[in-house]
Chain A
Amino acid sequence: MSTDKTSTNAQKTDAQKTNVQKTKVEKTSAAKQDAPAVENPEAAAAAVTAVDPRLLVREQGLAGYVGEFKRKMRAGELGSIPVVVGLIIICVVFQSLNSAFLSAENLSNITITMVGTGMISVGIVFVLLLGEIDLSVGSVSGASSALAAVLAVNQGLPEWLAILAAIAFGAVIGALHGFFFAVLGAPAFAVTLAGLLFWLGFMLQTLGENGTINLDSDGLIGQLTTYNFSDIAAAYGLAAVVTAIFFLTGFLGNRRREAAGVPSRPMSDLILRTALLAVVSFAAAFMYNQYKGLPLATVIFLVFLVGTDFLLRRTAYGRKVFALGGSVEASRRAGINVTAIRISVFAISGGFAAMGGLFLASKIASANQSAGTGDLLMNAIAAAVIGGTSLFGGRGRTWNALLGVMVIVSIQYGLQLESIAEPVKYMITAGVLLTTVVIDSVTRKTQKTAGRA
Chain B
Amino acid sequence: MTSAEPFFDFTSVWSSMPMLLKGFGIAMACATVAIILAIILGLIVALMRLSRIKFLRWFAFIYTQFFRGIPLYVLIIWVYFGLAIAAGVNLPAIPAGILTLALLNSGYLSETFRSGILAINKGQVEAGTALGLSRRNVMRHIILPQAFRVIIPPLGNQYVDAIKDTAILSIIGVPELMRESKALANLYYRPFEFYTFAGLLYLFAVLVVSRGISVVEKKLSAHSAQTPATIALSK
A and B from one complex: no
A residues lining the B interface (CB < 8 Å): none
B residues lining the A interface (CB < 8 Å): none
